[in-house]
Structure 1
Amino acid sequence: MEGEIPNDLARLANMVDLQLAANNFSGVFPQAIYNMSLLENLNIIDNGFSGSLRSDIGALPTSLGKLSGLEEFSVGSNKMSGEIPSSLGNITRLESLWLFNNSFEGSIPPSIGKCSHLLYFYLQDNKLDGIIPQEIMQIAPLVLLNMSNNLLTGSLPETVGRLEHLGTLSVGHNRLSGKLPETLGKCLLMVQLDLQGNSFDGTIPDISGLLGIKEVDFSNNNLSGSIPGYFANFSSLEHLNLSINNFEGKVPTEGKFKNATIVSVFGNINLCGGVLELKLKPCKHSSFSKKVLIGTSIGVSALLVLFIAFVSLCWNFVLQVKTFRKVMALGSVHS
């Protein structure tokens, strides 16, 4: 189907489920839709709709308020633009919010944190900027949060650890920075963790408890330190990308690190070892190890010299005692 949606659609006031996905509809989505007060599911994904949610929804809070029963709001893969209205936070029964692959700009409204039943939040492939609101990281039921391919700045909020049901966290290809929060290790149901293409620095936090993780992508950041050995024990791990960072030291060779098709570490010039397929330079003793080795050798040599000197002294003493006894014995014979 194609063309524009007729405005007389408003006559379907008792509509509960409106599914128009994967068609060729175009034009500005009619405001009449927002008079369907009983609407629970609205899905117009993969069409050619344009316009701004702010002009269609945000400027009409009374119309938006009539959609209080909406559980799914899906407008992904269209040509929509403008800012995401904060009034979306008033639809507190939302479970799915799909805004991906449009041209939305501006910041993510903190008010969406009031959507306390939200399970799926897709924001990827837009032009959103500003920080990630901590309020979003406090929506306890969230199962999937995708904010990748935007212009987001700031750090990953510490409050991410409150998302105990989170299975997918994707914030790749933004402008995020700072150290990764230790609270990531509290997202025990995590399956997919995509943080690539940002400017995160510091070491990888302890995420050894994420035993069900399948995909971890930390590539194209400024992360440093050694590669945690616990990745070797993740039985579900299918892809670990640590490429183009500042990691250093020896790459483990146990467990998952045996399979070079799972692990990617190129672009870390200070890494060494690993399985042959990774084509890394062999590990050399560090200067510290050399110092320890040299110190140990000197210490052992010194002890050996002292032992030989002690034995020599003892032997000389024994000889002197024997000589003295012989002299005494001869003296007694002559007398």
Structure 2
Amino acid sequence: MVQPRLKSKTLTSALATFFLFFLLLWRCVLSDNELVDYEAAYLKKLRKAIFPAPSNWFTATNMCDWSRVICTDGVNGRTVVDINLSSMSLNGTLPSGLNNALLNLKTLDLGNNSLTGPLPSFAGLSLLQELHLELNNFTSVPHGCFQGLKSLQQFSFTSNTNLEPWTFPADLTDSIELRILDLGATNLAGSLPDTFDSFPDLQILELSDNNLTGLLPKSLAKLLKLRSLYLNDQKLSGKIEFLSSMTQLKYVWLQGNAFEGPIPDLSNCTNLAELYLDNNRLTGAVPPSLINLSYLEEVFLANNSLQGPMPAFNKNVDTIILEGNGFCLKHPGPCDYRVTTLLQVAEAFGYPFQLARTWRGNDPCDRWSFITCDIQGKIRTVNLTNLNLTGTISPAFGNLSDLRELHLSGNNLSGSIPESLTTLSQLKILDVSNNNLSGIIPTFSSSITLNTTNNHGLVDRSSPPKASPPHPSTPPPSPTNRARLTASRTTPLWIKLGAGAAGSVVGIIVIFGVIVFNRKKPLDLEKGNVPTRCLLDKEEENGMVMKMTLVSLWCIQPNPLDRPSMGKVIDMLEGSLESIPYPPKPVLFSPERLVSQYSDISYSNEHETSSTTTEEIDLEKGLM
């Protein structure tokens, strides 16, 4: 009787164990098909916030079975990776907390609906790859909304016209894998930050129809993979030379801004198909590099200030819009040589807009600003004073053979004065003062009135060599009645003698004498009245030394009545050597003593190594 009871008890225990195992297995299977609590809670909030929500969101018990929701296996159960509710005519406001709930989200597409209110924060969704919010009615973007989106590749937010003004999101710099960025018509304002080098793989940049202002950042030129650039219809300015570096460009829309300067070289943009540059302030000639592009289909250049010959595009270009420019002719063909020359002048200035707005057509004498012609159509005067021009002076000015006056003062021009200006036989006035010019001033005819003042880098060929400054170790002058005469190989001997023998007054005479002497040819040197060791080898320099020595001796006469006035000094220096009488010997003059004192001083034009010999003359003992 005992054995059957034991068998029954054992069977009951086994059935209970099996049933418990079945319950645990069922629970595990069920949990694998359900979302974790925080994801499920957010989806319930979303279902309540938007309308009309998909119908099966109210009937399906398992949220991973909801339409347009995709789940995958996660560590703690099922997790949402994709939500696509695009083009469902949805209304409502997205609930906050999305970035704290849907941590594994990879794609969120809510585009083409009527959603309103502020965006929820997406910060920290490091797995998010695609974010589509375009064509809605969102009203604001919270600060830091896009921070930490390290995997983001596509972000479309275009056509949210009800947004409050906001600036380009600096927090997007975390999205280094970004390939498509579309923020067109989102009420962006202000200038663009110089952070586009954070997007090395960017291929499409759409920022059109906003209120962006100012210059484009330099980092924009580093988007070397960019294929489509849309910046049209806002208030951007500056030059567009950055296009030259974007060799993968196919579509460029920059119309409706305030871009200036010439169209850059586009010869490396071989894939370019559409170029919209109309309604800007572009100047200069249409470059051949644009005209010769093989795949160009549409080009809009209307309503600029383009100049030069009208371009003749290839037959493969379907649409060409060119009206509203300043081409020299209404059909392709060469311009008048005067127009070509003046456009070369403008090119050296960077094709400034203040010139281009009136330098239109094929006749420079027909209302071209800053140009004056005679009744025969010859250009006589070019006056570009105080226009804040930059760049350089073009050698093309030399082709204006009838030019009489050229005024370029009061600008910011750099570079040198072209030698070609010296060939203008009728030129009477050349004014390049108050610029930043440098180099040697060319030799012009003496009949030309030349003004080169306030160009600190310019050097006159006739200017004397500058004396070297005193060596730092040279002691200050002694307060006693001793004159310290210092000679150095780095300074011409005649300057040292003049300065040491006669003091500051004679030093001024010497410097002025150099200027005068370099403008007039000296006469023959009169022999025998100057210490031979004070003379240099060149005949002209010897004559100059003689004249300045005689004038200096007159200037240090003990009797003030014997000293010449400055006007007389000028006449003496400009006159002939024979016209200067020999002064009486002053107390301090003794050629023999001077020769003996400088017997140890040598001067060589071939060696510039400093070597200083100092002699002291005791003035208390007197001289012979």
User: TM-score category by the smaller chain?
Assistant: 0.7 to 0.9
2:203 is the alignment partner of 1:173: no
Residue 104 of structure 1: which of 131, 138, 147 is its match? 138
Q: 1:109 to 1:233 in 2, by over 3 A?
A: same
1:45-124 residue pairs with structure 2 within 5 A?
A: 45-53=86-94, 57-58=95-96, 61=97, 64-86=99-121, 88-107=122-141, 109-124=143-158
Q: 1:224 to 1:80 in 2, by over 3 A?
A: same
Using the TM superposition, give the Cα deviation of residue 14 of structure 1 relative to its aligned residue in structure 2, in angstroms: 3.7
Q: 1:256 to 1:45 in 2, by over 3 A?
A: farther
Task: State the match for 2:607 in structure 1.
Answer: none
Using the TM superposition, give the Cα deviation of residue 77 of structure 1 relative to its aligned residue in structure 2, in angstroms: 0.2
Task: State the match for 2:198 in structure 1.
Answer: 162
The one-letter code sitting in structure 2 at the alignment partner of 1:238 is A
Larger radius of gyration: 2
Q: 1:198 to 1:180 in 2, by over 3 A?
A: same
Residue 68 of structure 2: which of 16, 19, 24 is its match? 19
TM-score between the two structures when normalised by the length of structure 1: 0.74
Work out the CA distance in 2 between the residues paired with 1:137 and 1:271. 41
Q: 1:148 to 1:224 in 2, by over 3 A?
A: same
2:70 is the alignment partner of 1:40: no
Using the TM superposition, give the Cα deviation of residue 220 of structure 1 relative to its aligned residue in structure 2, in angstroms: 0.5
Size of the aligned set, in residue pairs, is: 280
Using the TM superposition, give the Cα deviation of residue 298 of structure 1 relative to its aligned residue in structure 2, in angstroms: 6.5
- Secondary structure of the 2:58 match is helix
Output one character per residue of 1:95-152: Cα deviation in whole Å (capped at 9) or x when no partner: 0000000011223643313111001000000033210121114410000000001211
Output one character per residue of 1:11-61: Cα deviation in whole Å (capped at 9) or x when no partner: 22345x8528xxxxxxxxxxxxxxx961111001111110112xxx21xx2
Asked whether the 8 Å contact 1:167–1:190 carries over to 2, the reply is: yes
Work out the CA distance in 1 between the residues paired with 2:142 and 2:211. 15
Asked whether the 8 Å contact 1:233–1:255 carries over to 2, the reply is: no
Q: 1:209 to 1:270 in 2, by over 3 A?
A: closer
Using the TM superposition, give the Cα deviation of residue 162 of structure 1 relative to its aligned residue in structure 2, in angstroms: 1.5
- Secondary structure of the 2:115 match is strand
Gapped regions of structure 1 (runs ≥ 5): 21-35, 306-335
The percent identity for this pair of structures is 23
Work out the CA distance in 1 between the residues paired with 2:421 and 2:79. 83
Task: State the match for 1:151 in structure 2.
Answer: 187
Task: State the match for 1:311 in structure 2.
Answer: none
Q: 1:108 to 1:273 in 2, by over 3 A?
A: farther
1:147-226 residue pairs with structure 2 within 5 A?
A: 147-226=183-262
The one-letter code sitting in structure 2 at the alignment partner of 1:292 is G
Work out the CA distance in 2 between the residues paired with 1:114 and 1:297. 61
Q: 1:114 to 1:271 in 2, by over 3 A?
A: farther
RMSD between aligned residues:
3.0
Asked whether the 8 Å contact 1:37–1:68 carries over to 2, the reply is: no
TM-score between the two structures when normalised by the length of structure 2: 0.41
Q: 1:50 to 1:213 in 2, by over 3 A?
A: same
The one-letter code sitting in structure 1 at the alignment partner of 2:133 is L
Work out the CA distance in 2 between the residues paired with 1:107 and 1:246. 34
The one-letter code sitting in structure 1 at the alignment partner of 2:54 is I
- Secondary structure of the 2:146 match is helix
Work out the CA distance in 2 between the residues paired with 1:108 and 1:269. 42
Q: Considering fraction of residues, name the structure with more strand.
A: 1
Q: 1:261 to 1:274 in 2, by over 3 A?
A: farther
- Secondary structure of the 1:227 match is coil
Once superposed, which parts of structure 1, at least 4 consecutive aligned residues long, lie more than 6 Å away? Answer: none
Using the TM superposition, give the Cα deviation of residue 161 of structure 1 relative to its aligned residue in structure 2, in angstroms: 1.8
Using the TM superposition, give the Cα deviation of residue 252 of structure 1 relative to its aligned residue in structure 2, in angstroms: 1.1
Worse-superposed segment, 75-84 or 202-211: 202-211
Work out the CA distance in 1 between the residues paired with 2:217 and 2:421. 43
Task: State the match for 2:535 in structure 1.
Answer: none
Output one character per residue of 1:158-183: Cα deviation in whole Å (capped at 9) or x when no partner: 10122000000000000001101111
Q: 1:139 to 1:74 in 2, by over 3 A?
A: same
Work out the CA distance in 2 between the residues paired with 1:76 and 1:251. 41
Gapped regions of structure 2 (runs ≥ 5): 1-50, 70-76, 313-319, 329-334, 346-393, 402-419, 427-442, 446-624
Asked whether the 8 Å contact 1:48–1:79 carries over to 2, the reply is: yes
